[in-house]
Structure 1
Amino acid sequence: MTNAADNVVVDIRKLWTVFKNTDGEQVVHRNLDLHIERGEVLSLVGGSGTGKTVLLRQILGLQKPTKGVVEVLGQAPGELSAAGAANVGMLFQHGALFSAFSVLENIAFPLRELKLLPDDLIRHAALVKLQMVGLEPQHANKSPSDLSGGMIKRVALARALIMDPPLLLLDEPTAGLDPEASDSFCDLLRGLHRELGLTVVMVTHDLDTLFDLSTRIAVLADQQVIVSGTAREVIAYPHPFIHEYFLGGRGQRALEALHDKPAPRPEAARAEER
């Protein structure tokens, strides 16, 4: 029998994040709890200053909490070995590609840094990931400056997936994209989530992306996760931020689109078609 704890990919318990500034101390998170299970697409939403991206950085191991526990696959992110760090891929908001590197060199960079594989194998792996995100090999030698915004996102996603991580972190994945490119990128993310069995943690302000991809939404307010659940469960929670964020004009339009969509089929039904 599988232990329920084995299904938890990210476990955050009694987390405190406190920043010191000229006015004293700013408490961003206070006794925050969040548990993310295998296979979820969990979206973090909240107002400015609620620490959404800070949480991503703590899961990634780039920032330590002031107090409390953050565990990724049973380990503190800061204690992961180089091989263990490969369990987490990160797509930064603006791609964060190296301008002096070609597309293929950007994708291959994390794998090359390990110094464990020959160059031809690294190049092959990078080409596979390039095509996995919907780009042709002809783009491999281009510079990031030659790419559209949507292509930059795809190259950055390929780099985030080069180590085949089970956990993928997304910071505003559709920011800066026009509606058509945003829809296309969401389709790509949905397909990769299903095909690769990824667990995804996403920060987004875009309500269409939020409703399109999330299997669960966690709302940050009052220095904690005040509610988590499906979109409909979260919207039903009585809180001023939720009312303003989800039930304003933009929220209503996104909700109408959500209601118009057919309910997703169970994974077992999709598996029978494959």
Structure 2
Amino acid sequence: MNAPLVVKIHKLWSVFRTDGVPTVIHQDLDLQIAQGELLSIVGGSGSGKTVLLRQMLGLETPARGNVTVLGHPAAELGRAGAASRVGMLFQHGALFSAFTVLENIAFPLRELGTLPADLVRDVAMVKLQMVGLDARHAHKMPADLSGGMVKRVALARALVMDPPLLLLDEPTAGLDPDSADGFCTLLQSLHRELGLTVVMVTHDLDTIFELSTRVAVVADKHVVVDAPPREVVGFAHPFVNDFFRGGRGHRAQALLHPTPDGV
């Protein structure tokens, strides 16, 4: 039995205007994401990867086509009461600099205005520990955190409402290799244990090969291939060839799938 669809994008057109001149970013783009998948979206600069995340969040309205998320038109998520069912991790964390770590994590719950302060604090503390940080970090300010810790706090905030869908924009950008590896291990664990559906925009090949159940390549204004990573690598397209089969791609695959005796 096939898993139910969490995201369905059909015949999407994304058009931006500069000084009245239209620029088409996406044209008749189709993409479906099933429950429990961890999908990576890749593409060249200007291909509209982050725009797709914003479309799924309902922050941007398509010029044409439909974006359905968790059974609702994305533009109506807030009105349908389903906005809390989508978590978002922004590229640089987007923590509130004047809030402590715990206040940042608790912010979405506090905005609801329906839960007692003690419960909000307790839930935020649980999420802090869920992402591998202990209570001694709760009252630190964002400026006192390392890059890896900022990402973890931002992830805890994205998960504080227990959303079934998590969107990530370049989750390992700016992290050193050890921090990136640790964050990938955390994501893999949370994806499995919480049964999350995850959509991730990334250019990090190590992250793609380690985490993705499927990869969607955006080029030529639409999704040119949408398949498991090993199938995507063999797809004939100039971007795929440059991105996956260049030097960086070979190194990433070799590290994750080494041959016997290094041959």
TM-score by length of 2: 0.96
Aligned partner letter, 1:33: D
CA distance in 1, matches of 2:205, 2:11: 29
CA distance in 1, matches of 2:239, 2:30: 19
Structure 1 stretch 76-85 or stretch 239-248: which is displaced more? 76-85
CA distance in 2, matches of 1:169, 1:141: 26
CA distance in 2, matches of 1:98, 1:7: 35
Aligned partner letter, 1:232: R
Residue matched to 2:109: 111
Aligned partner letter, 2:49: K
CA distance in 1, matches of 2:20, 2:102: 46
CA distance in 2, matches of 1:101, 1:86: 21
Please list the CA deviations of residues 206-259 of structure 1 after superposition, one character each: whole Å capped at 9, or x if unmatched.
100111110000000000000011111111111011001111110110011232
Going from structure 1 to structure 2, the CA distance change for 1:20 and 1:205 (only over 3 Å counts) comes to same
Match of 1:211 among 193, 209, 212: 209
SS at match of 2:71: coil
Residue matched to 1:269: none
| 1:61-76 equivalence runs, <5 A | 61-76=58-73
Residue matched to 1:268: none
1:41 equivalenced with 2:38 (yes/no): yes
Mind listing any 5+ residue stretches in structure 1 that lack a counterpart?
262-274
Residue matched to 1:102: 100
Residue matched to 2:26: 29
Please list the CA deviations of residues 174-203 of structure 1 after superposition, one character each: whole Å capped at 9, or x if unmatched.
000000000000000000000000000000
In the TM superposition, what is the alpha-carbon distance from 1:23 to its structure 2 partner? Answer: 7.2
Residue matched to 1:170: 168
CA distance in 1, matches of 2:102, 2:53: 26
Aligned partner letter, 1:66: A
Match of 1:237 among 224, 235, 246: 235
Number of matched pairs: 258
TM-score by length of 1: 0.92
In the TM superposition, what is the alpha-carbon distance from 1:89 to its structure 2 partner? Answer: 0.1
Residue matched to 2:17: 20
Residue matched to 2:197: 199
User: What root-mean-square deviation, in Å, do the aligned CA atoms of Structure 1 and Structure 2 show?
Assistant: 1.3
Please list the CA deviations of residues 128-186 of structure 1 after superposition, one character each: whole Å capped at 9, or x if unmatched.
00000000001111100000000000000000000000000000000000000000000
Residue matched to 1:58: 55
Q: Is contact 1:77–1:85 with CA below 8 Å preserved after alignment?
A: no
Percent identity over the alignment is 65
